[in-house]
Structure 1
Amino acid sequence: MKMRFTPLKSFICSLFLGFHQALACEIELVIAMDVSRSVDQYEFDLMRSGTANAFRHPEIIDMINWMDGGIAVSLTQWSGLDKQRVMLPWRHLQDKSSIARFATEIDQMKRAFRFEFTAPAQGLSHAFSMFAQNPTQCERKVIDLSGDGRANQGESTGQMASLIAGLGVTINGLVIRGDHPDPLEFYVNDIQRGPLSFVEIADGYDDFPRAIFQKIQREIAPLYSENTPKLR
């Protein structure tokens, strides 16, 4: 079936033209965090602290220090149709001090939205648009999208993910199980896209800290991780 290009999809394609610059590091990583109405404050706190502590883990620090040029990373929060906000713009992590500063910024991050629907297609398009704002162009572009449910608003998530992946971006999912219907199938079929892509599973929010650490570990160095995913 031929894909219909909406204005949003046409805008995404236009952003691709700005990607042809000198490469300065291995990976550009956008962490896209679901803060829709299904996420209560306790769960948000777990996501925030779990993500911050993942960057404090000695294995993550060693990986970033080992990589030529370090990594570029940013963090956004997403929810409904027009509810996306960059919380931490691009940071170039190259050593222990820059990594520690980034982890502290995550700890201090506020919540952008509370009572909105779930529109992952718009969350993905927003995350993709952030690559054009990064002054440090890198070898790989990865979107790390987490959430606890299926789409209930917005464009086709699968079509949006395929469009973005077709422009050279890997999309990985972190699905937080516990909702009904189970969101795992949605994340595997409609979000996961691109080379070495995968879906990390958290068995509820209490398992999120473990899952986000393992996910970031796999994203930073997929060719060297014990959990290297299969090509999709």
Structure 2
Amino acid sequence: MRRRHLLAGLAASPAPTLALSQPAEVDLLLALAVDASGSIDPDEFQLQREGYAEALTHPGVLAAIRGKPRGAIAVAMVEWGSPGGAATVVEWMRLSDGASAIALAEAVLRAPRSGQSWNAIGDALDHCAALIAQAPFRATERVIDLSGDGPDLRSRTPAPVARDAAVGSGITINALAVAAAGQVTRAGEPLAETYRREVIGGPGAFVVTAEDRRDISRALRAKLIREIA
């Protein structure tokens, strides 16, 4: 029922065309790096997927895209957790209107969950940077949008090192910290502060916070509009 409700408002849109048939130029390459580590149980994982699908189809997000010069962005989704094990679960898709939003949301909801453990954020950033470099679209703006509920733990490449390499190649990294109010990391600070110090980088980089996975859709929607606009 939830999935039908998510997409019902856009169902009247014409069928989407394949991403590869679209012009190569877009306004933004956006790699969504989503926490799929062992701390997330199946119900939480489903809430997270539905939050992303809802945010990507929201009229405010689509309006922000239409306001850009080319009126289109390209989006891919990566799941991360295991050291060196980040996986692309949704390949690059062009997002420009209601029809393409439906196609992207369905791809997000259908993608099998990848096998992940621990919290290897640095390796996730490395994976996303390589994914952006190989994208079948071109854009002057390139962003990694990482969400997680914990700090970097067992990356082969520490998060600050991977962050600096990505920023050096012209990529901006923003973060969504999924953490309850009052929760602190082992360093004794809020997760958002750890992400500010170790994860984000590039011009205008920022962190937003979701109180739990039920709050992801709201937080991600605001974040996407800010990134796009």
**TM-score grouping bracket, smaller chain normalisation:** 0.7 to 0.9
Instruction: Output the CA distance in 2 between the equivalents of 1:132 and 1:204.
Output: 32
Instruction: Output the CA distance in 2 between the equivalents of 1:68 and 1:93.
Output: 14
Identity across the alignment (%): 31
What's 2:152 paired with?
Answer: 151
What's 1:160 paired with?
Answer: 162
Aligned length in residues: 199
Give the TM-score taking structure 2 as reference length.
0.82
**Deviation per residue, 1:153-184 (Å, 9 max, x gap):** 02321121012111111000000113542422
What's 1:93 paired with?
Answer: 95
**What is the CA distance between 1:42 and its match in structure 2?**
1.7
Q: 2:198 aligned with 1:190, yes or no?
A: yes
What's 1:124 paired with?
Answer: 125
What's 1:65 paired with?
Answer: 66
* Letter aligned with residue 198 of structure 1: F
Alignment of 1:1-232 (within 5 A): 24-69=25-70, 70-114=72-116, 116-154=117-155, 155-178=157-180, 180-181=184-185, 182-221=190-229
**Deviation per residue, 1:70-113 (Å, 9 max, x gap):** 10111110111121111111111222211221112112222112
Alignment partner of 2:146: what SS? strand
Structure 1, unpaired ranges of 5+: 1-21, 222-232
Instruction: Output the CA distance in 1 between the equivalents of 2:92 and 2:132.
Output: 9
- Higher mean alpha-carbon deviation, 140-149 vs 179-188, is at 179-188
Alignment partner of 2:203: what SS? coil
Structure 2, unpaired ranges of 5+: 1-22
Cα RMSD after superposing both structures:
1.6
Contact 1:149 1:183 in 2 (8 A): yes
Contact 2:51 2:214 in 1 (8 A): no
**CA 1:23 to 1:167, structure 2 compared with 1: closer, same or farther past 3 Å?**
farther
**What is the CA distance between 1:217 and its match in structure 2?**
1.0
Contact 1:46 1:209 in 2 (8 A): no
**Deviation per residue, 1:114-172 (Å, 9 max, x gap):** 5x111100000001110122111001000000000011102321121012111111000
**What is the CA distance between 1:185 and its match in structure 2?**
1.9
* Letter aligned with residue 28 of structure 2: I
Moved over 3 A (4+): none
Contact 2:77 2:89 in 1 (8 A): yes
Alignment partner of 1:25: what SS? coil
Alignment partner of 1:97: what SS? helix
